């Protein structure tokens, strides 16, 4: 599994692993939306955006926060996100489908992406990060 | 579990300076020996981390529902000097002014003959769950007014009674609100969500008063044995979540600018009186006001449903009280015999002001502020009263709920939503939710027993039990 849920009583703590930084960001997005929405499948929706931050940890937090914002205001349930990182900037094209209450409810609403303990580390296999979501 | 902590009273523990480097004051938390077994090491560390922040006064505190959160622990309370101290979104959380209110009715349980239909009607009248939108179409001017005036905006627009306002903490409006500090993104999220309940642990619950333990206070609060009441738990929805996200980013920069060393990036902060600190306070207060308007509108919708079922006037369903449990506020407290203006952060903690406080309704002056502690789904909730002890020990604060013992994943593994619904139905409690998974996440077994948490605050004197409220039915997102 590229991401796993770690034990956290009050909120949701997820460990993401990937061989590349681009992959780590994509997997983190996938983990977040798998938590939020049941029964996702690809659809015809697409949202693109670019971001810069002071460091890559902050960039990951801002990237997930932006997806959270877009999902809510545009009514999109994202299934995957293509990420292209250049230093501490990124461009992203996220794909998904329109929110359908009948199908998508049953997940856990995420209120925010916490910065608590969020630190991207290098591992033998690539990269790893733990992300705590406020739910 | 509590290695390095010292028991300093019957229910009181101290985390000494030095537990983590840079602590300016000791930590204090309140727990029975039984509950002490369940505390995560991470929560104690977070309590100690808060003690490193500049200008913290007396103690970094945690209530008996202490939990490992982010930034502050859940159940965390800290007060900061207005001149030397800081304000931090990590001490408030994403769901700004998540809170709870209790509304009394003159009905008895015997009169609720169509309970399932009543719960169903409430579920359909109040927009509930992820992705639901308000039926109200707000203009951006309306949203500005709502963020400025809070619950009063709702009452002026026909959602509630004038008397409701006096029975809200801060009269349902923080005067520090500044809509100018609320981003376009936050507004976009807030516009379609006013009057919606949300999901997760938010709910509207139908309850019956089963056990009056303080008849005098119950009389003052308008609560009678055997009567039905309802409780609303929700917050500032996406607007508040976005305010937290936006201002955390701004305050991260400020933390460096003002040379503040923090042990956790979620504790980003700025001096209370700095431009960045004031901007966050203004935006947070605007979100808090939005939350009060939100709970006010939900109350009005619920009263309308009760009216149509039982022919009651809205005036026959008075608001007992409304308390915030994720907020930072400027309050006056006595410290070492001196009156000080402080920025008091409560994250998953409830204000519990004692008798004769200037900030509570006149009708409650002799008893102290009503404190509402919701139980988990299927377990009892409690009405308590604030105390002088809380004023002296915890800046007038107490716990906010039962507190989880199982993660959501563990809870979902334990039992299916449908099974829990059936078990509760056999006890006469009807649960209506947008999906069975929500019920499984919030299973009664996932929480500490509310009775135990309430027993601790009562015995520690942080608030005193007035009445016990048993659930009859609940709607959830």
Instruction: Give the model confidence (pLDDT) of B11-33 as tens digits.
Output: 999 999 999 999 999 999 999 88
Q: For residue B370, what is the enclosing H or E element?
A: strand B370-373
CA distance A83 to chain B (A): 21
Inter-chain touch A38–B434, beta carbons under 8 Å: no
Pairwise CA distance, residues B178 & B286, whole Å: 6
Inter-chain touch B131–A105, beta carbons under 8 Å: yes
The pLDDT of B304-317, averaged and rounded, is: 98
pLDDT in tens, chain A (135 residues): 689 999 888 889 999 999 999 999 999 999 999 999 988 888 899 999 999 999 999 999 999 999 999 999 999 999 999 999 999 999 999 999 999 988 888 788 899 999 988 999 999 999 999 999 999
Q: Is any Cβ of chain A less than 8 angstroms from the Cβ of B82?
A: no
Among B71, B131, B437, the residue with its CB nearest the CB of A101 is B131
Please name the residues between 205 and 264 in chain B that touch chain A, using a CB distance below 8 Å. Answer: 238, 241-242, 244-245, 248-249, 252, 264
- Residues of chain A contacting B131 with CB distance shorter than 8 Å: 75, 99, 101, 104-105
Inter-chain touch A105–B252, beta carbons under 8 Å: no
- Cβ atoms of residues B76 and B46 within 8 Å: yes
- Cβ atoms of residues B228 and B208 within 8 Å: yes
Inter-chain touch B132–A72, beta carbons under 8 Å: no
Pairwise CA distance, residues B187 & B314, whole Å: 31
- Residue B1: its pLDDT value, please? 54
Pairwise CA distance, residues A125 & B5, whole Å: 39
Residue B137 confidence class, pLDDT cut points 50, 70, 90: confident
ipTM confidence: 0.95
Residue B179 confidence class, pLDDT cut points 50, 70, 90: very high
Selected from 2.40.440.10, 3.90.1150.10, 3.30.450.20, 3.55.10.10, the CATH number assigned to the domain covering A3-134 reads 3.55.10.10
Q: Is any Cβ of chain B less than 8 angstroms from the Cβ of A101?
A: yes
Torsion of the alpha carbons at B414, B237, B347 and B303, rounded to the nearest 10: -90
Residue B39 has pLDDT above 60, yes or no: yes
Pairwise CA distance, residues B113 & B115, whole Å: 6
- Residue A1: its pLDDT value, please? 64
HEC assignment per residue over chain A: CCEEEECCCCCEEEEEEECCHHHHHHHHHHHHHHHHCCCCCCCCEEEEEEEECCCHHHHHHHHHHHHHHHHHHHCEEEEEEEEEEECCEEEEEEEEEECCHHHHCCCCCCCEECCCCCCCEEECCEEEEEEEEEC
- Using one digit for the tens of pLDDT, what is the confidence trace for B96-124? 999 999 999 999 999 999 999 999 999 99
Domain residue ranges of chain A, discontinuous segments joined by +? 3-134
Residue B383 confidence class, pLDDT cut points 50, 70, 90: very high
Task: Give B340's contacts (C-beta < 8 A, 6+ positions apart).
Answer: B57, B81, B82, B332, B333, B334
Candidate list B59, B300, B400, B458, residue with the active-site label: B400
Closest of B75, B56, B69 to residue B13, by C-alpha: B75
- Residue B242: its pLDDT value, please? 98
- Residue B314: its pLDDT value, please? 98
Percent of chain B surpassing pLDDT 70: 100
- Cβ atoms of residues B155 and B162 within 8 Å: yes
- Using one digit for the tens of pLDDT, what is the confidence trace for B452-461? 899 999 999 9
Q: Is any Cβ of chain B less than 8 angstroms from the Cβ of A36?
A: yes
CATH superfamily of B6-405+447-476: tRNA-splicing ligase RtcB (3.90.1860.10)
Domain residue ranges of chain B, discontinuous segments joined by +? 6-405+447-476
Beta-bridge partners for B81:
B342
């Amino acid at each position: 599994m590229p991401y796993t849920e770690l034990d956290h009583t009050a909120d949701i703590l997820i460990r993401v692993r990937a061989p590349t930084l681009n992959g780590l960001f994509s997997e983190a997005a996938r983990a977040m939306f798998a938590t939020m929405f049941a029964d996702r499948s690809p659809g015809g929706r697409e949202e693109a955006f670019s971001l810069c931050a002071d460091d890559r940890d902050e960039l990951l937090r801002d990237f997930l926060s932006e997806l959270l914002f877009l999902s809510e205001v545009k009514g999109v349930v994202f299934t995957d996100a293509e990420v292209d990182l250049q230093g501490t900037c990124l461009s992203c094209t996220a794909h998904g489908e329109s929110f359908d209450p009948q199908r998508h409810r049953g997940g856990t609403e995420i209120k925010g992406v916490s910065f608590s303990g969020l630190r991207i580390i290098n591992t033998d296999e690539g990269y790893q990060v733990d992300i705590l979501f406020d739910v | 579990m509590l290695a390095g902590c010292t028991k300093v009273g019957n229910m009181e523990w101290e985390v000494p300076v030095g537990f983590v480097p840079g602590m300016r004051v000791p930590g204090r938390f309140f727990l029975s020996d039984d509950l002490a077994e369940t505390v995560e090491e991470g929560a104690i560390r977070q309590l100690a981390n808060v003690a490193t922040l500049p200008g913290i006064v007396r103690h970094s505190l945690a209530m008996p529902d202490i939990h490992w959160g982010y930034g502050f622990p859940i159940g965390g309370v800290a007060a900061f000097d207005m001149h030397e101290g800081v304000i931090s979104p990590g001490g408030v959380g994403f769901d700004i002014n998540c809170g709870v209110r209790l509304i009394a009715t003159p009905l008895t349980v015997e009169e609720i003959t169509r309970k399932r239909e009543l719960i169903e009607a409430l579920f359909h009248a109040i927009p509930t769950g992820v992705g639901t939108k308000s039926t109200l179409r707000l203009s951006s001017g309306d949203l500005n007014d709502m963020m400025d005036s809070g619950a009063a905006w709702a009452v002026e627009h026909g959602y509630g009674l004038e008397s409701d306002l006096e029975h809200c903490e801060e009269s349902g409006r923080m005067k520090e609100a500044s809509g100018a500090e609320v981003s376009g993104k936050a507004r976009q999220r807030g516009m379609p969500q006013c009057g919606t309940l949300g999901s997760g642990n938010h709910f509207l619950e139908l309850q019956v008063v089963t056990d009056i333990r303080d008849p005098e206070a119950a009389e003052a609060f308008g609560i009678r044995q055997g009567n039905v009441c309802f409780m609303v738990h929700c917050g500032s929805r996406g607007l508040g979540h976005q305010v937290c996200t936006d201002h955390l980013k701004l305050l991260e920069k400020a933390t460096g600018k003002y040379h503040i060393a923090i042990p956790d990036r979620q504790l980003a902060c700025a001096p209370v009186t700095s431009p960045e600190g004031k901007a966050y306070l203004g935006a947070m207060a605007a979100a808090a006001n939005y939350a009060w308007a939100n709970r006010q509108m939900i109350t009005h919708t619920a009263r309308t449903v009760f009216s149509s079922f039982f022919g009651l006037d809205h005036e026959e369903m008075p608001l007992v009280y409304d308390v915030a449990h994720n907020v930072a506020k400027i309050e006056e407290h006595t410290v070492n015999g001196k009156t000080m203006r402080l920025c008091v952060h409560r994250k998953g903690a409830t204000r519990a002001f004692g008798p004769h406080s200037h900030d509570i309704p006149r009708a409650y002056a002799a008893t102290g502020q009503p404190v509402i502690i919701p139980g988990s789904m299927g377990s009892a909730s409690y009405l308590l009263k604030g105390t002088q002890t809380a004023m002296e020990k915890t800046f007038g604060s107490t716990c906010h709920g039962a507190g989880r013992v199982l993660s959501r994943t563990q809870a979902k593994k334990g039992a299916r939503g449908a099974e829990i619904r059936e078990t509760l139905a056999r006890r006469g409690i009807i649960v209506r939710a947008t999906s069975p998974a929500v019920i499984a996440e919030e299973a009664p077994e996932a929480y500490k027993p509310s009775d135990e948490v309430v027993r601790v605050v009562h015995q520690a004197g942080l608030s005193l039990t007035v009445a016990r409220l048993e659930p009859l039915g609940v709607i959830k997102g």
